Amino acid sequence: TGDAGVVEGGEGEVDLTEIDLPEGGGFMAEAYGRIVVTASRYGQDPLDSPSTTTVLTADDIRLSGVTNLPDLLRRVVGVDVMSLAAAHTDVSIRGFNRELNNKVLVLIDGRSTYWDFIGSSFWTGFPVSLEEIERIEVIRGPGSAVYGANAVTGVINIITKTPGENAGTKVRLDAGIPGVMRGNIVSTGRSGPTSYRFSGGFERHARWSKDYDLDEDSPLVPFAENQDQAMQVIHAMGRLDRTFGEKGFGSISAGYSTGSFEFYNIGALGNYGIDYTSHFVRGDIAYGPVHLRSFWNSDAGNIGTWLEAKDAARTLDGEVDNDAVDVEVEVPAEFSTGPIDHRFNIGVGYRYKHIRFTYLEGGFDNIFNEHHLKAFVNEEAGIGIFKVVGSLRVDRHPLIANIGRTISPRGALIVRVAPNTAVRVTGGTAYRAPNSVESYMDFNLPSSSDGAYIQDIGDDVNLLPERIGTIEAGVHDESTAYHTADLALYLNHVSDLITLDSVSPELGFFDANENGFKAGQTGWINSDPKYTGYGVEAEVETFPIDGLDIYGNLNVMSVSENTDDGTTRDTQNSLVKVNIGAMYRTPFWTDVTFDVHYVGPQTWRLREFDVDGQLQLNPQDVPARVLLSARIAVRPIPDDKFEIAATFWNITAFKHRHQEHPKGQLVGPRAFGTLTYEF
């Protein structure tokens, strides 16, 4: 049942003969197979996936000891994780990372998590608890052919555990430095055809560093009263499933998250804070192969610069109210034409957006409503050792006049060269549509001159969607019970990236409403340079003895910027990244884990305005870095219900902290203890 939450047993494959499944409940049986669902929106063997896929299991999450998902994603080959603050981490795939990155589609059980007005996901604001996640599927490469806009460089699907699976309650408490406080509870069970799962938790984390020591005579006003705290959030989520007869299935779920955290805004806007409230409501109904899914995402809050001058002529404080309603119908079918087996999937949908934001035209009181339509088809045809996959999606976007610019095709050939070894060749395109800030912005930004401001405006007529085209070849091998391995080579071509233009100077009269003079105007444009990226990704995981997992991966990537003046290497992307780690579940009720994460040096070219208002590139070096983490856990009670653990993250930062972006804070260490109890 695809994005309804198909799962895999956290400890490995599950024998279906040992599970009491409803008669005829095919979707329930499928849920326990060794499958991935994100690449094609239905369950399939990883060897048959048309996309390069990495799966992180519930066991990986537990043994890692992480307190947030981006830190776990660091270990995935081809994934770029960049921490600017303790509460703000940006994640990209195969390059093109930036503040508030919006080129990776992040899903929770197939539900989009991005705030529509910027197209970015705030990981800190997710309502899901780590303890209720069954696995995370990371699709490297364009996903617009299946998921539409924003799935430019990849898709990350967070799949939660099926309600009723391993019935019981789990409580986890974490405490340590710097100011780490975290608590979560997850409870799940089943009564006849009805199953449930509920979770709730809180999290606090201190800042990596302080910009300024404030006192009553300080010329600065803070956004947050507690300048030592990076985040404070609470969250809750629940899901109720029920089967109806042999073919019917219904599910309703909801989530809530509220709190405050700091983040880094794009460009020269710098460090910000947000007080927010997010919630969602979702419903699923399936009968036989037909699946109807709908959800409502609501995100609202107040934002502002982390520190602001007391006598500032204008403020950057603002309000945002972002609602999205999404409805989708999906119908799969399986049939044969002679010797060819077909697996067909078709779907249509509608998305409504309701957006208010202080920075947009008309201010917070002006409402922007958008109506989007979508349709997609996916066909897999197989004969013998060969499988051919074709996917196509088209979106009707109200701001993209030429619907042809939203058409996203994908084609793949998979060959089973051996029973447990597959070779794949894939090609496809993806796009990112202009977001609300880029389309509707009308906001006056302070300039370096007293009494002068720059008007920043959007463009809802001329902006084109960003585009990427990819060709990829790879091999996936599971030929023994002691290893899995994957090798991928890819070539990307990226064009029409959306960025700020230079300032057009103006000399206006004094504006009493703005308490200043308009010095110029800037806006959003499609940049001229085109980018070519190519790379190789190699990963292997071995299981030499019972309880021991060893993994390693290598990513070598180069991105070049192509203009009429020539070609230069984009050094914002590291040339080499390496991950090595091991997890050992000893026979003495003890688990030991270590991870080593290496990222090569980078030189960022920060886009800044010179004294004449023209854009200039200011190069800033970020040295190579090594992030070392370790965890040890002991279960003193033989029934494994109680666990005591100690986790040390970024151990080298106790003596030498590193930076992951020129604007970001020096990333510090974490050391904390964990108590977990199941009953």
Tell me the CATH class for 2-433+465-496+528-678: mainly beta
Mean pLDDT of 44-72: 93
Question: Which 3 state secondary structure label does DSSP give 565?
Answer: coil
Q: 133: burial class by Cβ within 10 Å (0-12, 13-18, 19+)?
A: buried
- Predicted confidence (pLDDT) at residue 434 exceeds the cutoff of 90: yes
In the predicted model, what is the mean pLDDT of the chain? 90
As a whole number, mean pLDDT of residues 92-112 equals: 95
Which residues lie closer than 8 Å to 151 by C-beta, 6 or more apart?
104, 105, 142, 143, 144, 430
Q: How confident is the model at residue 267 (pLDDT cuts 50, 70, 90)?
A: confident
**Can you tell me the distance from the alpha carbon of 141 to that of 144, in angstroms, rounded to the nearest whole number?**
10
- Please say if the pLDDT value at position 190 is more than 60: yes
pLDDT band, very low/low/confident/very high, at 33 (cuts 50, 70, 90): very low
Tokens standing for residue 381: 């045809």
What confidence score (pLDDT) does residue 501 get?
A: 87
Of the candidates 166, 89, 181, the residue with the CA atom closest to the CA atom of residue 131: 166
Structure-block tokens of residue 590: 């003890």
pLDDT (average), residues 608-623:
77
Range from 313-322, 328-337, 461-470, 553-562 carrying the lowest mean pLDDT: 313-322
DSSP 654: G
Cα–Cα distance, 257 to 202 (Å, whole number) = 9
What is the rounded distance in angstroms from the CA atom of residue 579 to the CA atom of residue 595? Answer: 7
Residues 33-37: contacts with CB under 8 Å, at least 24 apart: 33/8, 34/8, 35/6, 35/8, 36/137, 37/2, 37/3, 37/6, 37/137, 37/157, 37/159
Q: Does residue 601 have a cis peptide bond before it, meaning omega lies within 30 degrees of 0?
A: no
Q: Rounded mean pLDDT of 19-45?
A: 50
Q: Which two tokens stand for residue 163?
A: 């309600």
Say whether pLDDT at 30 is over 50: no
Pairwise CA distance, residues 273 & 317, whole Å: 10
How confident is residue 618, by pLDDT bands cut at 50, 70 and 90?
confident
pLDDT at residue 8 in the model: 35
What residue type is 600 in one-letter code? G
As a whole number of angstroms, the distance between CA 46 and CA 60 comes to 18
pLDDT at 3: 36
Whether the pLDDT of residue 191 is over 50: the answer is: yes
Cα 22 to Cα 18, 28, 68, 377, 430: the distances in Å are: 13, 8, 36, 30, 40
pLDDT per residue over 288-315, tens digit each? 999 999 999 999 999 999 998 887 766 8
Q: Is it the case that residue 20 has pLDDT exceeding 50?
A: no
Residue 521 CB coordination number (10 Å) = 17
Whether residue 239 is predicted with pLDDT greater than 70 in this model: the reply is yes
CA distance 281 to 355: 18
**Is 653 in a helix, a strand, or coil?**
helix
Burial of 411 (0-12, 13-18, 19+ CB in 10 A): middle
For position 35, what pLDDT does the model report?
60
Residues 6 or more apart whose Cβ sits within 8 Å of residue 423: 414, 415, 417, 473, 474, 475
pLDDT digits (tens, 9 = 90+) for 450-508: 667 888 899 888 999 999 999 999 999 999 999 999 999 999 999 999 998 888 887 77
Percent of the chain with pLDDT over 90: 78
- Parse the chain into domains and list their residue ranges: 2-433+465-496+528-678
Model confidence at 519: pLDDT above 90: no
pLDDT reported for residue 23: 32
Contact 319, 357 (CB under 8 A): yes
The amino acid occupying position 464 is L
* Spatial CB neighbours of 468, under 8 Å, sequence gap ≥ 6: 142, 152, 153, 429, 430, 431, 492, 493, 494, 495
452-457 and 442-446 as β-strands: parallel, antiparallel, unpaired? antiparallel
- Lowest mean pLDDT segment, chosen from 51-60, 207-216, 319-328, 481-490: 207-216
Q: Which residue has the tokens 């970001």?
A: 664
Provide the pLDDT for residue 613: 57
Beta carbons within 10 angstroms of residue 83's beta carbon: 24
Which of the residue ranges 156-165, 330-339, 532-541, 614-623 would you say has the lowest mean pLDDT? 614-623
pLDDT given at position 22: 32
**Residue 609 predicted with pLDDT over 70:** no
Q: What is the mean pLDDT of residues 374-379?
A: 96
* Res 217: pLDDT: 79
Q: Is the pLDDT of residue 210 over 60?
A: yes
Identify which of 30, 26, 58 has the alpha carbon closest to the alpha carbon of residue 43. 30
Q: Could you say which DSSP state residue 306 is in?
A: S
Please tell me the predicted confidence (pLDDT) of residue 615.
66
- What is the rounded distance in angstroms from the CA atom of residue 300 to the CA atom of residue 115? 9
CB 317 within 8 A of CB 303: yes
Residue, of 444 and 170, whose pLDDT is higher: 170
pLDDT bin (cut points 50, 70, 90) of residue 614 is: low
On the question of pLDDT at 209 being above 60, the answer is: yes
Those residues whose C-beta lies under 8 Å from the C-beta of residue 285, and which sit 6 or more positions away, are: 249, 250, 251, 291, 292
Looking at residue 74, its pLDDT comes to: 97
**Of 159, 273, 282, residue with least CA distance to 226:** 273
CA proximity to 548, closest of 580, 582, 596, 594: 582
> Residues 377-431: pLDDT tens digits?
999 999 999 999 999 999 999 999 999 999 999 999 999 999 999 999 999 999 9
Would you say 630 and 658 are in contact if contact means Cβ atoms under 8 Å apart?
Answer: no
Cα 183 to Cα 130, 202, 235, 241, 467, distances in angstroms: 11, 5, 10, 26, 42
Q: Where are the beta strands (DSSP E) in 503-655?
A: 504-505, 510-511, 516-526, 530-542, 548-563, 566-569, 576-585, 590-599, 602-609, 615-622, 625-634, 642-649
Q: What is the pTM of this model?
A: 0.92
